[in-house]
Amino acid sequence: MTIYDVGEEKDVAFIAMDYMRGQPLRAYTEADTLLPAVEVCTLLAQVAEALDYAHRQGVIHRDIKPHNLMYDEQDGRVKVTDFGVARLADTTRTRTGAILGSPSYMSPEQIAGEPVDGRADVFSLGVSAFQLLTAELPFQGDTLAALAYQISKQKPKALHELRPDLPTVVSRVIGKALQKNPDRRYQRGAEFAETLRKLSTRLAKELS
């Protein structure tokens, strides 16, 4: 979202930003509110492109989740919000051992408190995609330790079992974003965006 001004007036700090119609994509993560798969892929391609831009400016979001993605149904646009825990991609400023963000959406390296790059945001977007398609998170645990173990060591839930109506290619596309090893994920947001757009086109044909 565009920030127009930042300042202080009579000891009150303020940020002036875009007024955004719509609501967070979190509203579409329940079984009875899921968006069509084609629409999910199209919207998240926009997010992946936005993240690619941020990453090229040296900014890692670190808290990508449906709650922070504002969707305006009137014009079909989605915007990335809440860069509150974002950091500059400068390894000299990295603080290891600190966990910042929402654990359920974190990459293995992030939840371990290790240095992260843009591929951590790609993982989080993969988790968001999984949830927006199935109404479930791919990794779950009753405690932070249990959740961290699931994210770091266990395979995600099988998307095709939760959504047997979708072709298996959907599982493969999302599965690549959820790889434990960052080197095996989409290396850039632009790569993930291109794949999501192709998937959206394919689904539109197959599900029509």
202 lies in some domain: yes
How high is the pLDDT of residue 90? 47
Q: Considering the domain boundaries, does residue 111 fall inside one?
A: yes
Torsion, Cα 135 39 121 63, to 10 degrees, reads: -60
**Catalytic sites, residue numbers:** 63
Least confident stretch, 28-32, 98-102, 201-205? 98-102
Residue 58 domain-assigned? Answer: yes
Domain membership of residue 10 (yes or no) is no
Q: Does pLDDT of 124 surpass 90? A: yes
Whether residue 98 has pLDDT greater than 80:
no
- Read off the pLDDT of each residue in 82-111 and give the average, rounded to a whole number: 63
pLDDT band of residue 99 (cuts 50, 70, 90) is very low
CATH number at residue 118: 1.10.510.10
Classify residue 26: in a domain, yes or no: yes
**Within a domain: 84:** yes
Query: Total domain count for the chain?
Result: 1
The per-residue pLDDT for range 128-180, each reduced to its tens digit, is 999 999 999 999 988 889 999 999 999 999 999 999 999 999 999 999 999 99
User: What domain range includes position 60?
Assistant: 22-206
Residue 50 covered by a domain: yes
Q: Identify the residue with better confidence: 192 or 8.
A: 192
- pTM, entire model: 0.87
Q: Is the pLDDT of residue 93 over 80?
A: no
In a domain, residue 15? The reply is: no
